[in-house]
Amino acid sequence: MPRRTLYPSTFGQITPSIAGHYGLAVTDYHRSPPLPFYFPDGRIFVPFKLRLARIAGDASYGFIELDFVSRIIPGSNGRCQLVLSAGETLPVFSHITTARLALYFAMEIKKTLIQPQPDPDQELLQAFHTLRRFLNSGSN
């Protein structure tokens, strides 16, 4: 008769079983919050904990576009609120420091990875300035 292995039913209980099966220490496993991500069109999405976890291991994160976040304000019970650009507020179920750090990471992505497109008229303006200087210097 084959031997059956019964696995526990929650994420917190399954992880040590799987880690032990592959010879990993449970302390090596660490779940970190998600990071901001962006699309080539320049939209950057910031992760915020927008609801309480329903089961163990439920990350409960949602992503909000950076341009829609106006500011983060302190809330009650160590939590905070997002003030959106339209004026609405959303509760965030994490500490204000964590929410601000996620927003900061997204702003850094915007500064470093999303390069502003050069102004096509800038080259034309530079040519006009050069021509004007040339014409002004010739009239003297």
Residue 99: pLDDT band with limits 50, 70, 90: very high
Q: What does the angle CA 47 – CA 53 – CA 57 come to, to the nearest 5 degrees?
A: 85
Residue 57: what pLDDT?
73
Which carries the bigger pLDDT value, residue 48 or residue 76?
48
> Mind listing the pLDDT tens digit for each residue in 72-88?
999 888 899 999 999 99
Which carries the bigger pLDDT value, residue 48 or residue 115?
48
> Mind listing the pLDDT tens digit for each residue in 17-40?
666 666 665 555 456 778 898 888
Q: For all residues of the chain together, what is the average pLDDT?
A: 81
